[in-house]
Structure 1
Amino acid sequence: MHKIILYFLVLAAILDVGLASYDSPRFLRNQPRSVQQGYYAIANNTQLSLNQKQMELRQWAQGHNLLNQYITFDQKQSQQELQMNQATDRIISQLPSVKSQLKAILDQDNLTGAQIQQAVGQLAGRYPQQLATLMFIREDIQKQFTEDY
């Protein structure tokens, strides 16, 4: 019973957070298709190191009079990467506390299913990414246990 309630709560939290989608750089939006294809040919080239890719993209941008726009885009991407790393560190640092709170809820045998759902829902409201991460880990471990039977 607990597992079903938790599964739906975590699913709702994940859907509420949403999934990030890749969006085309703005400086490419009004460019001819051939210019866009040139950019993506470099950006998606898995044979290039990150340094090589960055150097080739700068050269490409300069050749298409887009260097300032590319530099602005690149700086914004770097800033977003830094912010994502900081957010990831924050989320990870909160996992032990959220795990303890979840365990405290699940260990209360005197709660009804509705009360458990409400308590876990409140926890998911405060810590959606942390709870989703913990539930992913729990489900993965649960699969290991059920494979043995």
Structure 2
Amino acid sequence: MLSKKSKYAIKALVALAKHEKENKDGSPMRIIEISEQEKIPKKFLEAILLELRRHNLLGSKMGVNGGYYLLKSPKDIALTDIIRLTDGPIAMIPCASLNFYEKCDDCVDETICGLRKVMTELRTASLKVLSGNTIEDIIKNEKKLIKTKNQE
């Protein structure tokens, strides 16, 4: 399950990308604007944005006209990047993880573990979907869904 932290990070990045497209002047977006627009608790959002800044996805500007802005293009921010930053491994068990591998304490021989095989297949399928979708893709999907809904 996607944690609230990951979901809020994705929503904040989408909001920042939309803001960037709408405001060609390069002005940053204030935390309060993101919080209110995306219905994210402000304190929680502050921590998430700081973490994204530490990992060079966001930049920030202090002062009256301050706020946050993207350092990468929305097409270059894959969902796997965000989820790994905020939640850690994509795999459901540690022995199936690519980036956070650990041997399971209770496993006698992982080479013959049926659960590991299934979880590795699940991880591979998840990675294909998540790494193949970016912040830009989410924005495009939203536009298509709005258009479809308005045609009903």
TM-score bracket for the superposition, by shorter chain length: under 0.3
TM-score normalised per structure 1? 0.25
Answer 1 or 2: which has greater helix percent: 1
Query: Which structure dedicates a bigger proportion of its chain to strand?
Result: 2
User: Higher relative contact order at CA 8 Å, sep ≥6: structure 1 or structure 2?
Assistant: 1
Normalising to structure 2: TM-score of the pair? 0.24
